[in-house]
Structure 1
Amino acid sequence: MARQQERARRTRAAIIRSAAVEFGKSGYAAASLNRILEGSRATKGAMYFHFDSKEDLARAVLDAAIERYRASAERWLTRTDLGPLDVLHGMIDEMALRLQHDIIVQAEYRLIIEPDFYRDVQTGGSRIIGRATKTLAVRAMEQGQLRADADPDRFTRTLAAALAGQRYLIDVFGGGIDLRSRFQEALEVVIEAMATQEWAEKFHSNGWQASARLEELGLGV
């Protein structure tokens, strides 16, 4: 029984991974179930055992992406060896890495800009990262890294818009843009507009104290 359950889990994971590749490449409407099956090496019967429809499969990809966003946010928020703004940099850097290399997160980005999934923006990865960003902004104010008159909501909205804009530029101009450096640039501009002089002086001397590492992301489904 345990062996059958493990085989079923692996089959389901393979189908989700193949679906993420297909959705990320073709979008939802043009995605082919046949290509998903070919990529997963699963049978049609196995696919319909796990998923009722293409929409059900797309939502499984979205759920997998949300779990990755949630795990990333929780892991960074528990860091006690770093100041809040360094934690924020590490988390944002990880998001850039995932958008560049994680097919599940790439597929989520492609799916939520399609009409069938607009409403998922409200509950997706961006909402999780937004909540974590606001938490870190509040911590940064309490620890004297952001000014006492800074607005955590304004900080979060402005940063989210800046990061989304940088990601959009990848689609407009194609390859050659380093998303990690663009995310870092946007983050620095927003922070420096609200940072205390003391933090700014230390930052200009020491730079960022945390970054993400690709080998630590665990990019399997």
Structure 2
Amino acid sequence: MARQQERARRTRAAIIRSAAVEFGKSGYAAASLNRILEGSRATKGAMYFHFDSKEDLARAVLDAAVERYRTSIERWLGRTDLGPLDILRGMLDEVALRLDNDIIIQAEFRLIIEPEFHRDVQAGGGRILGRAIRMLAVRAIDQKQLRHDADPDKFARTLTAALAGQRYVTDMVGGPVDMRMRFTEALEIIVEAMGTPEWLEEFRTVGWRASARPDDLNVGTASP
């Protein structure tokens, strides 16, 4: 029984990953279930055992992306060896790295701009990221990294909008873009405007103390 359950889990994960590749490449409407089956090496019966429809499969991809965001962000928020702004930089650096390398996150970004999934934005990875950014802004104010009069809501809104804008602009212009550099630039511009003189002076000498590692991504499976 345990072996059958593990085989079923692996089959489901393979279908989700193949679906993410197809949705990320073709979008939702043009995605082909046949190509998803070919990529996963699963049977049609196996696919319909796990998923009722193409929409159900797309929502499984979105759920997998949310779990990856949640796992990644919780890991960064749990760091006790870094200040809040360095934690924020490391967290955003990992998101950028995932956008370049994690097919599940790439597919989520493609799906949430489709009309069928606009409402999923409110419960998606971006919402989780926005809450984490605000939390870290509050910590940074308490620890005198951001000015005492800084507004954590304004900080979070402005930064999340800048990050989303960088990602959309990248799609429009095409060609290779260093997303990690773009995300760091967006963060630095906002922090320069809201940081305390003391933190900024130290930052200009030391720089960022945290960055993401490819080994942390766990991109070989459909779930964290």
Interval of TM-score (by shorter of Structure 1 and Structure 2): over 0.9
Map of 2:192 onto structure 1: 192
* Equivalent in the alignment of 2:116: 116
TM-score of the two chains, using structure 1 as the length reference: 0.99
Cα deviation, 1:50-86, whole Å, max 9, x if unaligned, reads 0000000000000000000000110000100000000
Q: Deviations over 1:126-162 (max 9, x none)?
A: 0000000000000000000000000000000000111
Partner of 2:21 in structure 1?
Answer: 21
Number of matched pairs: 221
Aligned counterparts of 1:24 and 1:118: Cα–Cα separation in 2 = 16
SS at match of 2:189: helix
Runs of 4+ in 1 over 3 A off after TM superposition: none
Does residue 210 of the first structure (1) align with residue 210 of the second (2)? yes
Q: Which structure 2 segments of 5+ residues have no match?
A: none
Give the structure 1 partner of residue 49 of structure 2. Answer: 49
Q: State the distance in 2 between where 1:163 and 1:53 align.
A: 32
Which amino acid counterpart does residue 154 of structure 2 have in structure 1?
Answer: R
Query: What is the percent sequence identity of the aligned residues?
Result: 76
Residue 164 (structure 1) aligns with: 164
Counterpart in 2 of 1:181?
A: 181
Q: Deviations over 1:13-61 (max 9, x none)?
A: 0000000000000000000000000000000000000000000000000
Instruction: Please report the TM-score for the alignment, with normalisation by the length of structure 2.
Output: 0.98
Q: What residue is the counterpart of 1:127 in the other structure? A: 127
1:175 deviates by 2.0
Deviation string 1:165-193 (CA, Å, 9 cap, x unpaired) is: 11111111112211000000000001111
CA distance in 1 between counterparts of 2:173 and 2:148 reads 39
Q: Which amino acid aligns with 1:46?
A: A
Secondary structure of 1:5's match?
helix
Q: Which residue of 2 aligns with 1:8?
A: 8
Instruction: Say whether 1:81 aligns with 2:44.
Output: no
Q: Report 1 or 2 for greater relative contact order, CA contacts < 8 Å, sequence distance ≥ 6.
A: 2
Query: 2:140: which partner in 1?
Result: 140
